Structure 1
Amino acid sequence: MKPTEVRPIDQYFQTFNQTHQNKTNRIIQCICLPLLLFSIIGLAWAIPFPHLGFLGTYNGYINWASILIAVLIYYYLKLSPMLSYVMLLILFAFSYGIIELQQWEGTGGPALAFTSVTLLIIAVAGLIIGQRKEKLQHVLVLNWKLLLIGPLWLIHLLLKKANIKY
């Protein structure tokens, strides 16, 4: 890449910054984007995974969420290694939270799928409310690529405040 070329991740962040200038919307994004990601991983976790004999004793460690996490981290790694490492740590924390919800379900709590769908609805509603606060009328909720980049954008903002290059 030539020194004058802008990395794709920087282009995404520039687009995100241009479409998220309202302070209230930025606060909503800071809450709803992680909530959206958590709920999607929770839904993937709740989908039954087939028993694969060749995995042996490791069969319980693989599920649809682990495959989703692997794909996300690979995509993020291609965009920015540093951001992908931080995101991996965050996804580990999300996984721990989902395991706790799953254990709560086992002791009589709500089903993981129900909790995840509820959080998903709250997150999407929050994102839509935030979008209405912006002067530009667009439907970012339907732009999946920017939704994938959203959590990285939040991490990028935190790293930028700490003067850490990404």
Structure 2
Amino acid sequence: MKRPLLLRLVPESLRLSAFYRLYLGKHDRYQSLYQSAPLCYAPDVFMDLVPGDLISDIIAFTGVYESRLTQRVARLAQRGGILVDVGANLGYFSLLWAALNKENRCVAFEASPRNIPILNRNIRQNGLESRIEVFPVAAGQESGTMKFSLGPVEQTG
């Protein structure tokens, strides 16, 4: 299933607003958007997402998450380098970074055990295993152990 026509036609600057007004909470009616959702800034990259999770909903319906940050990351990715993605979630910025320049590398930290299988699947299905290394831990100033709340089951963040 393609994204709703309105969201494909409106300029990116209005897309998020249109999503919130017309499609927020309607993930049940658009389940297929969450499987292999293409990214606008890297159209050859696809993500599996979690219906009902706000980050996933935005990506599924619009193809972009945090538009200004995405634009900046995309510009920087052209120059190349290493991205350290702390709190990689399902891999949006890691995938974008690695896909936009074949020389780019990414180190992705993700503490949520619920996100790790999807993050790894997203990396694998895009053939980016050699460019993105996943560390299934939290990143912090010092070593140690602490309590970690996974939050509601339907949320990835």
TM range (shorter): under 0.3
TM-score by length of 1: 0.23
Structure number with greater CO (CA < 8 Å, separation at least 6) is 1
Question: For the pair shown, which has the larger CA radius of gyration, 1 or 2?
Answer: 1
Considering fraction of residues, name the structure with more strand. Answer: 2
